[in-house]
Amino acid sequence: MNTRRNVSKLLLATTNLGKIKEFCSLFEQIPFQITTPDKEQIILDVEESGSTFSENAYIKAIAYMKESGIISLADDSGIEVDALGGKPGIYSARYGGKSLNDKDRVELLLKNMEGVPWEKRTARFRASIVIAWPDGKAILKEGVFEGYIGYKPKGVNGFGYDPIFFLPQFGMTSAQLTKEKKNKISHRSIASKKILDHLQREYNKWETK
């Protein structure tokens, strides 16, 4: 793995189009060539058997790295609702079963929050991002985004639970924020900025060789 071609390629270890779009936006200035499983013709079903976001991110990043031989970035993220004991947590993307779509999961969460007063509707998005290198090295960076669960969906930007994740400091949901604003404050952007700093340092090392 001592060629610029291999070092400069970064595989986003996800097939979630919403995440791919967001990562591509967050990594616009990245000094690596971003690629996806679709572009690399990789079909991989990774079992997320970890008990935490970070464990699942490690599992996915390493699985895609081994399958592709490319530096791979994976994230595991979701929403933790205090009134529900931290659920759905690591099961955010599978909340209510795999047959549900984003809209269904939002409706289910709102139903499970019926009767919960505003002051107890605190929640947070949490993201763990892992990059795995073919030489066995891996790094983890994390980010947290605090807010409340709103009473009904608002906004059309973002994906997943964004339409019901209310931000008091802005008076709107995450789905009502502009892409530029969200990319400065979200859980994934916080973790991504830490990743970017690390990748920039890696790139600079190769540039001087």
User: Is residue 76 among the annotated active site residues?
Assistant: yes
Q: How many residues does the chain have?
A: 209
Phi, psi of 67 (to 5 degrees): -70, -35
Q: Contact at 8 Å (CB) between 71 and 7? A: yes
Q: Contact at 8 Å (CB) between 172 and 182? A: no
Q: Contact at 8 Å (CB) between 78 and 90? A: yes
Measured CA to CA, the distance from residue 128 to residue 73 in angstroms comes to 11
Catalytic hit among 76, 82, 104, 135? 76
Measured CA to CA, the distance from residue 176 to residue 164 in angstroms comes to 10
Q: Which of 29, 25, 12 is nearest to 203 (CA)?
A: 29
- To the nearest 10 degrees (0 to 180), the angle between helices 17-26 and 187-207 is 60
Where in the sequence numbering do the catalytic residues fall?
76
